Structure 1
Amino acid sequence: MEALTTERALAYLQTRSTTNGDSVLTHLTHLIQTIVDSRPQNAIDVLETSLLLKQTRLIVDEGPSLPRLWKEKNAADVKMFIELFSSPTKAWVDSEVVDEQADTEESSSNDCKIDNLLSDSTCFEAVGVGLGHTEIYFIVLTLKQLGGIKGVSTARFFGKFFGTSSNYYVFETKITEDAQEETTDAEGEKNEKKHSWGRPHETIPPEKGGGANANVYWVCSKPGEKLYRLPDVTPLQIKIARSLKKFLTGNLNGEVSAYPPFPGVEENFLRAQIARISAATLVAPKGLFKVPEAEDEEEPASEIVRDDEWVSPTPAELGTLEAWVHKNPYINLQGRCSLYIPEKDAEEGQEADEEVEEDQKESLPTAEEQESIPERLASIDNDSNISWGLKPWSVTFSSSVPALKHQIVCVRSFLWPGAYAIATPSGFSNIYVGWGLKNVAYVPPAPPPVLKEYETNLVESTELPPLPIPEEPQAGEQEEGQAEDEQAEEEEDAD
């Protein structure tokens, strides 16, 4: 065997292992350094030290060439992802909900306002909130593709919902009235046929294009995968979701196994949680929005507009809860933003209108009608405390130095852990990163009342029940029976 030179011997000792990436030379160097630092009494007995060092030493991997988010994907999926985002005319969404745009002129003419998430993520990072740079970058690319869909006027990243098996990335958009009319009817029929089983009777109609359904939400399990449009939420789904405390699984078509029974599948439960979180945690600086004067005093304006004369306050002024207001309307006990009162028809036999009015006066108002609804753009300082006396909001700063020039003010929700809002030079930005659970004590709902027993007296009967009447065989069965009887007689004669 040829003798090794010094260079070849060093090259051999520097050969990395295929299991952990370590080499003999590196291991011996760390072993000698450990022995010199610890100075054991019997330095010759280094076998145990060598094994312990091999098991506990941290070996830094160089990392994959692709981002970790796409490490599990194969080369074909990564190539498809790059080609898709390089083409501005393609929309990567569920083909069952929205068709892909093929017309270049039509897609390029779509004027969609997209939030500057890259700039906002830097502000969120200053207060220790948000996602990683790689994840934010892919989310921005997804927003770009979402803005190319026909009918989408605004798009923003709502947040990330954690699940037991998979996560949800939620995007909030506004749809123009023309596109809303085209897709609402078809989508409603599809969802009703798909998830109509086991649904309780809904007496309160949902809000179409307003209230809890003013925005359209899209979800995907990873940025870059197909986006799925969530259906509109119903008041019954919001009411039952308030009495549930359940983790999401990541399967949109999964069953929501809970009591009371939820009217829908997980996509409906996720949509109900989004509506609740959006109504409770979407806050803005005071004075940024205003309620326009309504022409009819009985029907005040439901939409708010941005005040062009608004001037961004200083961080010290934004450091109080009085400087922040709720942007979205309040969801009442009915599960709607506007109270729904059904029309009461006169009963048969009531001829006079006076009798009908007296009957309506005698009927007591319901809890929904007695509920006090907060005004639009109400201050978050007026929110009720959590059950154990904790304030539902807190204000934090990016630095404890008060004289810092560029200070970031962040408002954090304790009622919905994971909801944050920051003040930006152009206004504000909201994000939610959490499990979709409310920070309240879970109180299991009471079971339904026990049914009443049979009211009449039970008398023991000594009579036997009547014998069942045998069914008459049909014509075909009767012929088969006769043939079997004749065959049995022939076999007996043969014997």
Structure 2
Amino acid sequence: MTTEQCVAFLQKKSTTNGDSVFSHLSQLIQFLVATKPDSAVDLLELSLLLKQTRFIPEEGPKVPRSWKFHAKEKFVKHHPDRKPPPLESEEQNGDEEETKEENDPAYSAENYLYDSIFFEAVGMGLGRAENYQVVLAMRQLASTKMVLKMRFFGKFFGIKSNYYVFETTSKPVPPEEAAKLPSYGVEAIPKENGIGPNAHTYWVCSRPGAEFYRLPDVTPLQIKTARQIKKFLTGDLKAEVSAFPVFPGLEENYLRAQIARISATTELAIKGFYKGGAGGGNLEKSEEYAPLGFAELKTLENWVHKNQYLNLQGRTTLYVPEKKEEEGEEGGGEEKEEKPPSPEETEVIPERLTSVDTDAELMEGWKQWSFITSSTHKNLKHQVIGLRSILWPGAFTVVTPTGFSNVYIGWGRKLRHYVPPLPPPVMKEFEGLGPERRDLPPIPKPPEPVKVEGEGEEAPPAE
């Protein structure tokens, strides 16, 4: 027998008094150490004395069954709209049904509490107590909102309060509720609905257990403007974003724009884990995927971007407005010169699931990603490995036994020095109609005499 088996055998409790050999010997040794007798070996009756003096609680008086039935009848009489307590057999069946419901919930969520162990191993995360609170908040969100899939996106630090962000795939929003969502005018470039930066719905709360708030969809103009400003979050979703250029929205829209940028840039996957996703389609787990070794995972070639890139327009697909035919063009007039293509039209966007090794360097020899491990010793057999984004401080990806996990914990700011935007171009001066004249203006003509109504004669001039 092994040591664990021996300890388990000694811990078996007696059917008479509920005691075990392990606990009895522990009390015996504790008593000898406390009293310190001269000849402890000769005190053979000490074991029997401990057994006789041990306190064993007695069972209280049992309630007669007739009293139980009387209480049930009284309950049904005073509360006819409620069902009576179930019988013992019904309770067992109910427990089985509850177990089935727990094993097969109406929503699916990542096991963040399990993944947090590996984040903690590489020195990242929120802490065990806060991780447990986040998991409870996920259950609260699933029970109160129409959520199909969910994962913890991350935590954004603010000046007055923080934001806990949860990424969900929600059920379709009814048209009545969609009309209540705030909007900020009509933009020249429309937003993408259900794909790209708006493929998921994001919920935020100031702390685990607080009320959840649904962030509105992000627009291309908000993403383009967020790229030009650097702001700290205040913690108030309805606060104004004081910046230049003027941001089209409140802090909730700015937070949503930063989430879209971070999600498109920092969410990674292991190469070969997914397949598909062309043209904005859904990703599917590859059946041919085989876990990679530690040496293979420590190369950037084996890591890919999970989400689509955002182009200069703030979209994943290029939007080309329809050309309006001007009047007079049908008459066969002269052809107008074609405008040169804009930078947005000539931009080359990398495809989905592109290796992170092809990302542009921040500086010469300075990659956007760095590896983090659970230990600096190279000869350890088991280690945890992950990646850290240098471009977006706070974005981490870690390898887990089931695949990988992404999280963001930071201030929502990009690692770029602030460059004030240039002022708008100076307006051109007014061009005169002719050459400059230096002679005096002409003398005005004398006023004409005023006629009096009803008389044929002219009125005399006023003195």
TM-score, shorter chain, exceeding 0.5: yes
Give structure 2 stretches of 5+ with no counterpart.
1-97, 444-463
Structure 2 residue 305 is the aligned partner of structure 1 residue 317: no
**Structure 1 residue 188: Cα displacement:** 5.0
Query: What SS does structure 1 have at the residue aligned with 2:182?
Result: helix
Which letter maps to 2:266? T
Q: Which position in structure 2 is the counterpart of 1:261?
A: 246
Preserved contact between residue 160 and residue 432 of structure 1 (Cα < 8 Å): yes
Q: What residue is the counterpart of 1:406 in the other structure?
A: 382
In the alignment, structure 1 residue 449 sits paired with structure 2 residue 425: yes
Q: Give the CA deviation at 1:333.
A: 0.2
What aligned pairs does 1:95-134 form with structure 2 within 5 A after superposition? Answer: 111-134=106-129
Selected match of 1:202 from 168, 171, 187: 187
CA deviation string 1:443-473 (max 9, x = no partner): 111011223334338999999xxxxxxxxxx
The offset of 1:362, in angstroms, is 2.0
| Aligned with 1:152 (options 144, 147, 152) | 147
Q: How does 1:18-37 map to 2 (within 5 A)?
A: none
Q: Which amino acid aligns with 1:260?
A: P
Counterpart in 2 of 1:327? 306
Distance across 2 between alignment mates of 1:150 and 1:240: 31
What residue identity is the alignment partner of 2:142?
G
The separation in 2 between residues aligned to 1:170 and 1:276, in whole angstroms, is 14
Q: Which has the larger radius of gyration?
A: 2
Q: Map Cα deviations across residues 120-158 of structure 1 (whole Å, 9 max, x no partner).
A: 111000000001111111100011122234541111111
| 1:240–1:262 Cα contact (<8 Å) kept | yes
In structure 2, how many angstroms separate the alpha carbons of the residues matched to 1:355 and 1:267?
50
Q: 1:229 to 1:462 in 2, by over 3 A?
A: farther
Alignment-derived partner of residue 181 in structure 2: 190
**Alpha-carbon contact 1:188-1:231 (below 8 Å) kept:** no
2:398 counterpart SS class: strand
Question: Which residue identity is paired with 1:153?
Answer: L
TM-score (norm 2): 0.68
Q: Which amino acid aligns with 2:214?
A: R
Residues 442/389 of structure 1: CA separation in 2 closer, same or farther (3 Å cut): farther
Map of 1:166 onto structure 2: 161
The reply to whether residue 391 of structure 1 matches residue 367 of structure 2 is yes
- Pair 1:431-2:372 in alignment: no
Is contact 1:110–1:151 with CA below 8 Å preserved after alignment? no
Alpha-carbon distance between aligned partners in 2 of 1:258 and 1:145, rounded to the nearest angstrom: 36
Of residues 226, 241, 254, the one that matches 1:241 is 226
CA distance in 1, matches of 2:222, 2:340: 26
Contact 1:332–1:368 (8 Å) recurs in 2: yes
Alpha carbons 2:370, 2:388 under 8 Å: kept: yes
1:337 corresponds, among 289, 308, 316, to 316
Greater helix percent: which structure? Answer: 1
**Equivalent in the alignment of 1:363:** 339
Structure 2 counterpart of 1:303: 282
Alpha-carbon separation, structure 2, partners of 1:278 and 1:420: 11
Q: State the partner residue of 1:94.
A: none
Matched, 1:372 2:348: yes
Call closer, same or farther: CA 1:347–1:448 in 2, change over 3 Å: same
Whether 1:211 aligns to 2:196 is: yes
Partner SS for 1:279: helix
Partner SS for 2:258 = helix
TM-score, reference length from structure 1: 0.64
Query: What amino acid sits opposite 2:112 in the alignment?
Result: L
Aligned-partner Cα distance in 2 for 1:117–1:427: 13
Amino acid at match of 1:214: A
Report the CA distance shift for 1:462/1:209 in structure 2 as closer, same or farther (over 3 A): farther
Aligned residue in 1 for 2:326: 347
Residue 289 (structure 1) aligned with residue 255 (structure 2) = no
Deviation at 1:187, TM superposition (A): 3.3
- Contact residue 302 and residue 355 of structure 2 kept, 8 A: yes
Where 2:181 maps in the other structure, the secondary structure is helix
CA distance in 2, matches of 1:162, 1:274: 13
**Is contact 1:421–1:431 with CA below 8 Å preserved after alignment?**
yes
| Per-residue Cα deviation, 1:347-404 (whole angstroms, up to 9, x for no partner) | 222227x989x65x82321111100100110011110011565211011211223343
Q: 1:228 aligns with which of 181, 188, 213?
A: 213
- 2:398 is aligned with 1:422: yes
> Match of 1:308, SS?
coil
User: Which 4+ residue blocks in structure 1 deviate beyond 6 angstroms?
Assistant: 457-463
CA RMSD of aligned residues (A): 2.7
The size of the alignment, in residue pairs, is 339
Question: Aligned in 2, Cα 1:237/1:129: closer, same or farther, shift over 3 Å?
Answer: same
- SS of match in other structure, 2:226: helix
Distance 2:202 2:333 in 1: 48
Partners of 1:187 and 1:231 within 8 A in 2: no
SS at 2:406 equivalent? strand
Summarize the Cα distance change of 1:403–1:225 in structure 2 as closer, same or farther, 3 Å threshold: same
Q: Percent identity?
A: 53
Aligned partner letter, 2:148: S
Matches within 5 A, 1:37-52: none
C-alpha separation in 2, matches of 1:257 and 1:188: 27
The amino acid of 1:274's aligned partner reads I
